[in-house]
Structure 1
Amino acid sequence: MMSPLRHLLLAAPLVICSNAGLAADKSFAIHIPAQPLPAALESLAQQTGIKPFLVNDVAQGKNSQAVNGQYSAREALTKLLAGTGLSYAFSSDDAVIIKAPDNGSNASTLPVVKVMGEAVQDVNDPYNKSYTVTNSSIATKTDTPIMETPLSIQVVPRAVLKDQQAFRIQDAVKNVSGVQQRDNDGYDNFLVRGFDLGRLTFRNGIRIPLVNLDFANIQQVEVLKGPASILFGRIEPGGMINAVTKRPQEEAYYSLEQRFGSYDFYRTEASATGALTDDKSLLYRFDLSYLDKNSYRDFVLNDRIFIAPSLTWRPSDSTEFNLSLDYFDEDRAFDTGQPAIGKNIGQLPINRQFAGQPGLVDNFESHVIDFNWSHKFNDQWQIRNGVVATFLNEDWNEIYSWVLNNDNRTVDRFSWFGGRNTNSQSVYLDLNGKFDTFGIKHNILIGGDYYSLEQAGTATDQFVDSIDVFNPVFPNLDVNALRNGPKGFNSVEESSWYGIYFQDQITLWDKLHILGGGRWDITTSGSGFSGTSLADAQVNFSDIEKNKFSPRVGILYQPWHWLSVYGNYVESIGAGNGGVSRTGTPFEPETAEQYEVGFKTELFDSRITSTVAFFHLTKDNILTPDPINPNFRIATGRARSQGIEVDISGKITDELSLIGTYAWTDTKILQDNNGNQGNRLPLVALNSGSLWLKYDFQQAFLKGFSFGAGVFAADKRFGDSANSFSDGAYARVDMMAAYKFNIGPTRLTTQVNVNNVTDTEYFLLQGNRAQNLPAEPLTVIGSIRLEY
């Protein structure tokens, strides 16, 4: 028998006009404790006048999160439904449909109701197909709508990662404007707004130096553009890349996926999550992956295992504890690519590798331990505290090309056998509060953090036989003798800092948002080197202390809910400049300054979101040769990057999703003692962009099929600061097709991705003439995924 709620739904109009979000965006004082979801939705209806439909059909047995404070109905619904797997869509000015996830589980067939507007879903829902993310905490450490944040933020959600079968950071950030990958000896490393991030990525807002990420437990990837040191300490000024991990969920979910593809590519992923107790106060998650692949490059292979268990304990509605562990063990062959010959690259077969020593692999073993907790004192105030420790052990077994000789055909090679230990610790404490003063809303953050890094590495380093790149003949080498040779490289590095920061997000008239804050850093960094022993490197250690205040100011005006106009000014302290000058004095740290203006939109009832930004960014204290003694360096270099960036994502129709980018990045070396003044910064394309489209068929006989295609393009990039060689412009085409169907309560997805369909040749540059890695040619990856 049809329920009264369904009768009410059928009485709703079949075609809803696009202004169905006006009341939904009005702000209300909402106070709803955590409770059974049907009761929470009834309370929301009483407090806002919004009428939820289909509640009893899908909400029974689920619990809501607590919602307290000043929120729009949209924001309150998003918080109430977090973790339930349910989504919603406004069907009129004051009515909303609560919808069950499309997970194949005995769902009732309902009459077709056409809803104009994007359904807002829990980002942690594994079945979420949306390309749109409306909130992010990466810029402010508070859960703030992106439309109200006066900074440029892009988020690549899980739906895009699935559609493109991403399993590396580089697979995700190709969908973000102004981000370009560089080859960096197998480490994750990127340039944002023209500046190198220095092998540094973030995991849940915490830096994890040198540790590569596996995507088995990654929910989404966020990119914050521009200097971010006010909340995250010393960091390169272009921005930061943050990977958000999957969290334990209340609802049980299990998945198993097998991928297979070109060049003996095999990858297995398994996930499980759910509640360990009847009251759902203790939740668990377990993610695992195994990767085994060869390469289009000679002698190159990759073997990896990744394990990531996590627990969440909620002893009360106001307190939460989280503990997670990432274990990563990888063997990979070192590959330095090809040398530039004259002004160009690409005169050699892309498979040709010049290490020439099969069986040599590096090993990387890392552990990341993350513990954090939070407590809400009341509806307005909460405290957050966390401790993260990373441990990385590297074992190097390498022979690589070092320099191309003047004959433009023989390359000198270098051996490198040894290892390095890198340990880091991060601690943070944040207090967040919301209050009003004379009608002005405040969302303040007061916090502090501590970070320390210790590195110690030692290696044998000596030249070995040269190779003719056009006719390579690899001599037999005594690898054991090289491995046991004298340790000519011995290095220690240490850095630490304490930071205290404050921030206030001020809202006036619900339209004007002002962000103000600053950070005081006390930093210490130092290094020591010796050509004889690690002990001597410790003796030669020297460090420098630097204190700096970095302000950040931003303003955003939102005249209508679909448009925001913003600007910001930021100063920062950088992460670079290890070592000492000619006089034995440690280098001053790099600093940066940015001006940025732009606008953001949420069009077609929030179906399509976009950001357009113009920025001007300068970086100072870059190391450059000492004019008195060029064998030493001084921190007087200066560079500038300015440009325009465009990002757009969302749904054009219910069937067609897109994510697109464009960046014009104009870089220039302003001050340099190498004769490079006036040149462009290396590795950065003047123009770059991408467009990815996916179509989900809804017709009865094609329902379940999806097809996607995209193009990723970049202009010419110079390979070094001298601009002595370059890689030409390229455009790469990727495609995918998938079919989803249900077997009882289980969803089965089969998918195939073809990357670089046209077999376009281009290179990942490293910044020197000898080492330029050919990008992947045409590759095919298929997969079968079971979800329950």
Structure 2
Amino acid sequence: MTAKHTKNRAGRSWKRQIAVLALGAGIAVTPAHADNAVRPFDIPAGALATALNRLAESAGLQLVYDAAIAEGLRSRPLRGSYTPEAALQQLLRDSGLSYRIAENGNVVIEKQALNYRQDPAALPAVNVIGNKAYDPNNPFNPFYAVPDASTATKANVAIMDTPVSIQVVPRSVLNDQQAVRFEDAVINNVSGVQRSYGTADMYESFIIRGFNSTEQNYRNGFRRSMGKFDVSNMEQIEVLKGPAAVLYGRLQPGGMVNYVTKKPLATPYYALQQQFGSFSEFRTSVDATGPLDNAKTLLYRFNGAYDSGESFRDIVDHERIFIAPSLTWRPNDRFEANLDLEKRHDNYMDDYGVPVLDNRPVNGRRNLFTGDPAFRPRQDNTLVYADWSFKFNDDWAIKHKFQWDETDIVFGGPGPNGKLNADGHTLGRWVITGTSERRSYSTSLDLTGKFETYGLKHNVLVGGDWFFFNQDAPDNMFASSDWGDPINSTFDIDNPRYDTIDVAAVNAIRPNWFWREREDWYGVYFQDQITIWDKLHIMGGGRYDMAGYGGFGGTSWEATKTGFSMQHEDKFTPRVGVLYQPWEWLSVYGNYVESFGSNNGRNALTGGTFRPQSAEQYEIGFKTELFDKRLSSTVAYYHLKKTNMLTTDLSTPDPLDQVAIGEARSQGIEVDIKGQLTDNFNLVTTYAYTDGRVTKDNNGTEGKRLLNVPEHQASLWGTYQFTEHFKAGLGGVVVGKREGDTANTFQLPGYTRLDAMAAYVQPIGKTRLTAQVNVYNLLDKEYFTGSTSWIPTANVGAPISAMGSLKLEY
């Protein structure tokens, strides 16, 4: 590496001559960059000349320029994985400087032509040498490959260096698929993940590697309270496979879904999108970001969405209002602070899908709604998030985060008591009304550092966190005609009639179901990622939890508050992983992880709380990066066991008594491939074989398959950029047969669904207009997306439908 420039203004003329002579001399034997592959960079903000020197050293570039043109200029931090030319472009952005490649291969940096203003829409593309490259946070980035992720390690580490399976769904995939629902973005693009249904469609939850995540989703590494999520301010979605309790505390062992929000940008960007589709779907979203001051130390971003529409399901409709402003303050190259606010209002209809007859959901009734329009639930959510970080130097940093999340829910609507009656067409229904208040507070403090000892490179994390969650349901009411309540709740699927439930009789029934729940835990954790010979990566760590939890429902709200108590337990959980990279394109890895699981509730027999669930996982696999690191893949085999599950206590005569001795096992193979075969061809393909079964139980379910878990599932999605303006895509999802309940008394048939898209981009001055249409379920197949976990119903997939979009960006 050689970076040639002058040191001061004196003698500028002759030094320019030296630079010019150098271009024609023997320096040409060193090319501009012998290797144009994507590689990690970590260059702090500071003097532009210093940043250019660091870039030249790490990328092997020959830079030739007059130091006077860089004097007084500063660069932004450059962190992440880029090709060398993309990294250079990021450092020079908004500097008034440009670069070109001389005939001898050197990179010449010079002032831009006067009155030249680079179009932000053109910033991402680099056609100088090699392949195009984009800033991962650039809104115009069309590529699917994401080399780095933070969820697995709480640090921005290359996925190829991380000895766990972590899959990333970038914003470009969401845009191409027009995934306006969070669940679609996840289950269509990540192996081994299915949707889980609890109380109708009230919460978005997933089944990962066979185990239900129980409404535990994460935002920027912090757990959300139960609810729905809007994709308008999501930059990417990261799915960590296997137990993640070491860094995130108590959660289910299959894995975690963490979405990373959009950040304010120093380069102005504005977008307005109008989407419209089948079943009166109407969605308007806006995205605006840029600096608030000339020095670009204070940045803002605003995301908002209004979404309303009906459904292929009778009576069902929805309305959402969502806003998400955020601020970033960077007074210098060492300190950064962020503040986010989210407000969401959802007004919708509870929908439990179609009922079950014998061992199958009823066919030919995908528009059948078994609820009642007299009851309409709603949710109101407020979230405040803040963080600050300080870099002591290039190697050591500290970061503090805080999140406050609250959701107020108004319940309302009928649900089926069970399968269809013996006559094959009538159904008993219960009705629920009431409210629930959910609050959570989260905070964490992390110290990260890099150092070397005896040739070993360490990347350490030491931290602690606190999480508090409370839920109060003080006035819920259940009623049903089957239980003798005079509310007329019976339903006939052959003659569906609505507004038949006696609402006055429902309201006359006093509340009869109450619930209070608390979680309060502290955790301290450590992690060290050791690199030996630049090929062997060893990750070790552990977490010590001090957890309190409890849940109780009494005969009245006063009795519930009086009878509520907390159980406390401490536990240490380890994690060990090893990754070996014999070649730059291949990593072979394995890990062993333990997990501190969810609360099992209260033991009615003893008055105490059951032991929490726990889990352990063994995993081996390999990762590849091919085609100049544009196409990545992960292949993993895992064996995961979950223990302390509740089952019937056979030592007592009461069949309702339980004991925490149950076990379940999931094992399988997962394949995820994502990226670019060429600059024009993007691809996502997944496959999962999942063998999930109950292995120990007193309820007669030993050997039964786990609920809603197909043995085989796969997906394929690809887009091709035919011209500069036109792109088209095609894909499909294949899901095998699934068990509809834990006793395996009914099944959901397997299905195949095909989707397609086409988009045309038309530049209009310095803006661009994108017209796009997506068609879903091209073959109009009838299929079921999943069954409700505690009642025999099946949620129905949409028939053939379309989504159109007009998006204006600047």
Q: 1:766 and 1:93 mapped to 2: Cα distance?
A: 66
For residue 600 of structure 1, report the CA deviation from its aligned partner: 0.4
Moved more, 197-206 or 104-113: 104-113
Distance 1:634 1:711, change over 3 A: same
Q: 1:607 and 1:636 mapped to 2: Cα distance?
A: 47
- What secondary structure does 2:640 align onto? strand
Aligned pair partner of 2:334 in 300, 307, 318: 318
For residue 40 of structure 1, report the CA deviation from its aligned partner: 2.7
- 1:301 corresponds in structure 2 to 317
- 1:537 corresponds in structure 2 to 560
Equivalences for residues 593-672 of structure 1 within 5 A = 593-627=616-650, 628=652, 629-672=654-697
Asked whether the equivalents of residues 205 and 216 of structure 2 are also in contact (C-alpha less than 8 Å), the reply is yes
For residue 122 of structure 1, report the CA deviation from its aligned partner: 1.9
For residue 77 of structure 1, report the CA deviation from its aligned partner: 6.7
For residue 635 of structure 1, report the CA deviation from its aligned partner: 1.1
Distance 1:141 1:152, change over 3 A: same
Moved more, 42-51 or 193-202: 42-51
Per-residue Cα deviation, 1:504-528 (whole angstroms, up to 9, x for no partner):
0000011100000000001111112
Q: 1:222 and 1:451 mapped to 2: Cα distance?
A: 21
- 1:582 corresponds in structure 2 to 605
- What secondary structure does 1:542 align onto? coil
Asked whether the equivalents of residues 67 and 76 of structure 1 are also in contact (C-alpha less than 8 Å), the reply is no
Asked whether the equivalents of residues 624 and 634 of structure 1 are also in contact (C-alpha less than 8 Å), the reply is yes
Equivalences for residues 185-264 of structure 1 within 5 A = 185-186=200-201, 187-264=203-280
- 1:466 corresponds in structure 2 to 490
Q: 2:520 and 2:407 mapped to 1: Cα distance?
A: 17
Q: 2:503 and 2:770 mapped to 1: Cα distance?
A: 47
1:129 pairs with 2:146: no
- 1:753 corresponds in structure 2 to 774
Moved more, 184-193 or 767-776: 767-776
- 1:717 corresponds in structure 2 to 738
Q: 2:710 and 2:394 mapped to 1: Cα distance?
A: 48
- 1:385 corresponds in structure 2 to 400
Asked whether the equivalents of residues 200 and 210 of structure 1 are also in contact (C-alpha less than 8 Å), the reply is yes
Asked whether the equivalents of residues 265 and 299 of structure 2 are also in contact (C-alpha less than 8 Å), the reply is yes
- 1:351 corresponds in structure 2 to 367
- 2:808 corresponds in structure 1 to 786
- 2:13 corresponds in structure 1 to none
Structure 1 vs Structure 2 CA RMSD: 3.5
Equivalences for residues 5-404 of structure 1 within 5 A = 20-21=35-36, 33-35=44-46, 37=48, 40-45=51-56, 48-51=59-62, 63-66=74-77, 81=90, 115=130, 117=131, 119-173=132-186, 174-184=188-198, 185-186=200-201, 187-355=203-371, 357-404=372-419
- 1:519 corresponds in structure 2 to 543
Asked whether the equivalents of residues 497 and 524 of structure 1 are also in contact (C-alpha less than 8 Å), the reply is yes
For residue 718 of structure 1, report the CA deviation from its aligned partner: 0.6
Aligned pair partner of 1:678 in 684, 703, 706: 703
- What secondary structure does 1:403 align onto? coil
- What secondary structure does 2:418 align onto? strand
- 2:530 corresponds in structure 1 to 506
- What secondary structure does 1:462 align onto? strand
- 1:563 corresponds in structure 2 to 586
For residue 461 of structure 1, report the CA deviation from its aligned partner: 1.0
**Number of positions where the alignment pairs a residue of Structure 1 with one of Structure 2:** 765
Distance 1:528 1:238, change over 3 A: same
Asked whether the equivalents of residues 104 and 747 of structure 1 are also in contact (C-alpha less than 8 Å), the reply is no
- 2:793 corresponds in structure 1 to 771
Distance 1:112 1:376, change over 3 A: closer
Q: 1:559 and 1:47 mapped to 2: Cα distance?
A: 21
- What secondary structure does 1:147 align onto? helix
Q: 1:33 and 1:243 mapped to 2: Cα distance?
A: 26
- Note the residue ranges of structure 2 that are not aligned, 5 or more in a row: 1-18, 482-488
- 4+ residue segments displaced more than 4 Å: 16-19, 30-33, 36-39, 52-56, 58-63, 71-80, 82-98, 102-114
Q: 1:54 and 1:347 mapped to 2: Cα distance?
A: 72
Q: 2:590 and 2:558 mapped to 1: Cα distance?
A: 51
Per-residue Cα deviation, 1:290-347 (whole angstroms, up to 9, x for no partner):
0001011111110000010100111221011110011010001001111111111132
Distance 1:198 1:323, change over 3 A: same
- 2:501 corresponds in structure 1 to 477
Asked whether the equivalents of residues 403 and 769 of structure 1 are also in contact (C-alpha less than 8 Å), the reply is yes
Asked whether the equivalents of residues 103 and 747 of structure 1 are also in contact (C-alpha less than 8 Å), the reply is no
Per-residue Cα deviation, 1:386-419 (whole angstroms, up to 9, x for no partner):
1101010001121222212344432111111100
Q: 1:177 and 1:240 mapped to 2: Cα distance?
A: 13
- 1:762 corresponds in structure 2 to 783
Q: 1:693 and 1:76 mapped to 2: Cα distance?
A: 27
- What secondary structure does 1:216 align onto? coil
- The TM-score with structure 2 as length reference comes to 0.88
- Structure label with greater radius of gyration: 2
Asked whether the equivalents of residues 84 and 250 of structure 1 are also in contact (C-alpha less than 8 Å), the reply is no
Q: 2:81 and 2:748 mapped to 1: Cα distance?
A: 50
Q: 2:91 and 2:194 mapped to 1: Cα distance?
A: 33
**Aligned amino acid, residue 434 of structure 1:** K
- 2:3 corresponds in structure 1 to none
Distance 1:72 1:372, change over 3 A: closer
Asked whether the equivalents of residues 145 and 631 of structure 2 are also in contact (C-alpha less than 8 Å), the reply is yes
Distance 1:344 1:64, change over 3 A: same
- What secondary structure does 2:55 align onto? helix
Per-residue Cα deviation, 1:81-109 (whole angstroms, up to 9, x for no partner):
389599999999997899x9x99669699
**Aligned amino acid, residue 534 of structure 2:** D
- What secondary structure does 1:358 align onto? coil
Asked whether the equivalents of residues 705 and 740 of structure 1 are also in contact (C-alpha less than 8 Å), the reply is yes
Distance 1:170 1:646, change over 3 A: same
Asked whether the equivalents of residues 64 and 80 of structure 1 are also in contact (C-alpha less than 8 Å), the reply is no
Asked whether the equivalents of residues 488 and 530 of structure 1 are also in contact (C-alpha less than 8 Å), the reply is no
Distance 1:583 1:214, change over 3 A: same
For residue 112 of structure 1, report the CA deviation from its aligned partner: 7.2
- 2:14 corresponds in structure 1 to none
For residue 474 of structure 1, report the CA deviation from its aligned partner: 4.2
Aligned pair partner of 1:494 in 503, 510, 518: 518
Distance 1:79 1:451, change over 3 A: farther
Q: 1:229 and 1:384 mapped to 2: Cα distance?
A: 20
- Note the residue ranges of structure 1 that are not aligned, 5 or more in a row: none
For residue 266 of structure 1, report the CA deviation from its aligned partner: 0.2
Asked whether the equivalents of residues 755 and 775 of structure 2 are also in contact (C-alpha less than 8 Å), the reply is yes
For residue 643 of structure 1, report the CA deviation from its aligned partner: 0.4
**Aligned amino acid, residue 663 of structure 2:** R
Distance 1:730 1:601, change over 3 A: same
Q: 1:727 and 1:88 mapped to 2: Cα distance?
A: 59
Distance 1:257 1:598, change over 3 A: same
Q: 2:100 and 2:577 mapped to 1: Cα distance?
A: 32
- What secondary structure does 2:139 align onto? coil
1:729 pairs with 2:750: yes
Q: 1:359 and 1:61 mapped to 2: Cα distance?
A: 67
For residue 668 of structure 1, report the CA deviation from its aligned partner: 1.2
- The TM-score with structure 1 as length reference comes to 0.91
- What secondary structure does 2:566 align onto? strand
Asked whether the equivalents of residues 288 and 306 of structure 1 are also in contact (C-alpha less than 8 Å), the reply is yes
Amino-acid identity (%): 42
